Structure 1
């Protein structure tokens, strides 16, 4: 007999895990949109447009290199003191840095200090984002009913897509309403709004009962050290998956947005494309995550990687036709294929670690990969486009990243059909091998 409380529990879990992440990644996404559309004029006015875009993306990427530290710090806090405390702090930090970016003077006002302050605030954003993803994903995964860890873990993936929709939609509205002075003043509005919206996520997380931290006898002194000692292979492979996936995720968001404007689409049209891509991710991520609950994480991840690699080449051919409808369809297809990997990733990575080191292990692995993948993706893609003059070099770059995702997924063990108790029993508190092994 079905549990009548399960739908309400699922909704509450989605609101804390998915919507909290949506509000946080709204802040993250609007920076990427601004870096593509207005930051070259506001903070780097002395450079030509394409070079200024490259530098703006480099400043965007700087935040990624604070993410591993955030993952380690908040992973340790989450493993030792409970998930809720870590999630509340990450949200507050993101809200503060977003409001502060919206209040920054331009290069015309304070000179070189403006881009320096911009990079410093990006580092704060990256530090907060480094702790957010793992904690929000674990809130869903560790609350999931049997056989639904993939689906409930994808609430975070859906939240990232929803954040993309909100960020792109707000920028589209602002750019339409204030087209003449977007770079002068109006770009600040989404940042101010993001700081206010964070309060909603904060309320949801404080109102939810806190998870009970591990007792001292169940815990380890340094969960990350325990993960590195007992799971080095899993740490390396999870890092590889994160590197490959986050590379194509940020090619698909920030670079695709800039590319659309470079080939002749208007900024509002480019934002429409970005919204279409995000909507497709929100729909496809839970579908593929649920499929991974049935047929296994590895199969879905590998299939999604292969389809996405082929989709990159088709995407550039369609966008190059300069048809709004065709280009929009291309973005939708790419977003749907991105969901094939984004959906199962939270559960797949979390299941590689037992509970007492799970937040630390998965966050460190994911954020290290994200730093090197996402932190360089937009800049490298732009540099490839500049040097080759062809978008198909970027497609090859994305295909190589997806090949890494497929390879690392293949080398990790299948965990979809193991119970959480079996996963937690595989490695003892001190790192000794237990009796429960997957067959």
Structure 2
């Protein structure tokens, strides 16, 4: 396909959002409900012999296990995405996520089979992580590479919006189930969101199978491994993109999974905590495309750096606000954090994708984002909980931890090149050099 075609109107935008945004929403719904269950119910179901805070820490560690598989998924699916096309990979990752989610909903509890229950939970979480590793990069590129001139940031943010919509669906389903079961999720109730997730994936699958077929990629015998070419041609960009992803996913999972657990720890009920997360997800869906569109006009770097500074301030304001134990004040605090998260979540797909030419783009952004996610997002909830335990439940240390992660986002963004004004042809202009470097990587 032409990487820099002019826009084809609202219908094209809707089709692209349906494939990129809604497909991602349904896949990340599956990913998020695991995080919600880890915060709210898995400590009691799979680790019942521990005290609540320690069991939560162990549950978050199991949650983080999925992130260990994400870099491998990113590398494997990124390679095939560069070789055989984006659409085929997106269909396969969606199927894998749906099956693993459905199976989690069928797992026996610790009371039924003992230690085998958490072992099976971790194995299925690894499968979820492997699938998610290929999802983000493929969906982001579907938006970026179909975008009209001057709108790559906005169209790339369809993926970011999809993640937020997935969070909305997940929190809405969990909150509804929690209300229906009188705030008790430890019985059959927690299984319902997982079983539903396995069915919802069919909708995303239909959307992706309706996407226009990609033109066959030209044969590139001299570039058998795109990621190796990127390691030779763009090692600096790879490292800096990992830094951006590390910092962003750290604060993203503090702001979702950890915040959910923290609300219940200080006295809010499960339903209230899920309502807070619902508010956070809604504001991300609204703010992410707005900040992405702003990055199309004033540049990716400015928005990423300013957004990091604003978000750091937001984290320091968040904990005093929710400590007032006011439902409406807490809703406002969560909504504020979500709005500020959009400042970085919106531009990230275009910003990272534009650092690499087409031949290595899927491999490069999938590997860098998922490595950063494994190191940052995979450990964020566990580290934040450990900080809370070590500080006798003083949240200031968590705010400092988040500020440090955001400082890394700002620093790495500053060191990457500005790409908003470049055409895709200009970004791809060094493809000959990349092919030569890839040929040198042959044994």
What's the TM-score once normalised by structure 1's chain length? 0.97
Q: Equivalences for 1:340-359 in 2 at 5 Å?
A: 340-359=343-362
Match of 2:151 in 1: 148
Match of 1:297 in 2: 300
SS in 1 for 2:383: helix
For residues 221 and 244 of structure 1, the distance between their equivalents in structure 2, rounded to whole angstroms, comes to 31
1:131 to 131, 134, 153: 134
1:396 to 400, 408, 433: 400
For residues 331 and 51 of structure 2, the distance between their equivalents in structure 1, rounded to whole angstroms, comes to 28
1:16 to 19, 36, 45: 19
1:210 Cα deviation (Å)?
2.2
For residues 371 and 116 of structure 2, the distance between their equivalents in structure 1, rounded to whole angstroms, comes to 29
Q: Is the 8 A contact 2:183 2:269 kept in 1?
A: no
For residues 432 and 256 of structure 1, the distance between their equivalents in structure 2, rounded to whole angstroms, comes to 48
Q: Which runs of 5+ in 2 are unaligned?
A: 1-5, 438-443
Q: Is the 8 A contact 1:79 1:213 kept in 2?
A: no
1:69 to 56, 69, 72: 72
For residues 199 and 327 of structure 2, the distance between their equivalents in structure 1, rounded to whole angstroms, comes to 34
1:201 to 201, 204, 213: 204
1:165 aligns with 2:168: yes
Q: Equivalences for 1:357-368 in 2 at 5 Å?
A: 357-368=360-371
| Residue deviations 1:16-48 (CA, integer Å, cap 9, x gap) | 000000000000110000001100010000101
1:4 Cα deviation (Å)?
9.1
SS in 1 for 2:186: helix
For residues 245 and 109 of structure 2, the distance between their equivalents in structure 1, rounded to whole angstroms, comes to 34
For residues 336 and 128 of structure 2, the distance between their equivalents in structure 1, rounded to whole angstroms, comes to 30
Q: Is the 8 A contact 2:352 2:365 kept in 1?
A: yes
Match of 1:46 in 2: 49
1:211 Cα deviation (Å)?
1.6
Match of 1:239 in 2: 242
1:218 Cα deviation (Å)?
8.2
1:179 Cα deviation (Å)?
2.4
Match of 2:290 in 1: 287
| Residue deviations 1:272-295 (CA, integer Å, cap 9, x gap) | 000000000000000000000000
Report how many residues are paired: 431
For residues 201 and 218 of structure 1, the distance between their equivalents in structure 2, rounded to whole angstroms, comes to 33
2:313 to 310, 314, 320: 310
| Residue deviations 1:44-67 (CA, integer Å, cap 9, x gap) | 001011100000000000000100
Q: 1:303 to 1:320 in 2, by over 3 A?
A: same
The root-mean-square deviation of aligned C-alpha atoms, in Å, is: 1.2
For residues 90 and 219 of structure 1, the distance between their equivalents in structure 2, rounded to whole angstroms, comes to 27
SS in 2 for 1:428: helix
Match of 2:3 in 1: none
Match of 1:56 in 2: 59
1:426 Cα deviation (Å)?
2.6
1:213 Cα deviation (Å)?
3.7
Q: 1:213 to 1:373 in 2, by over 3 A?
A: farther
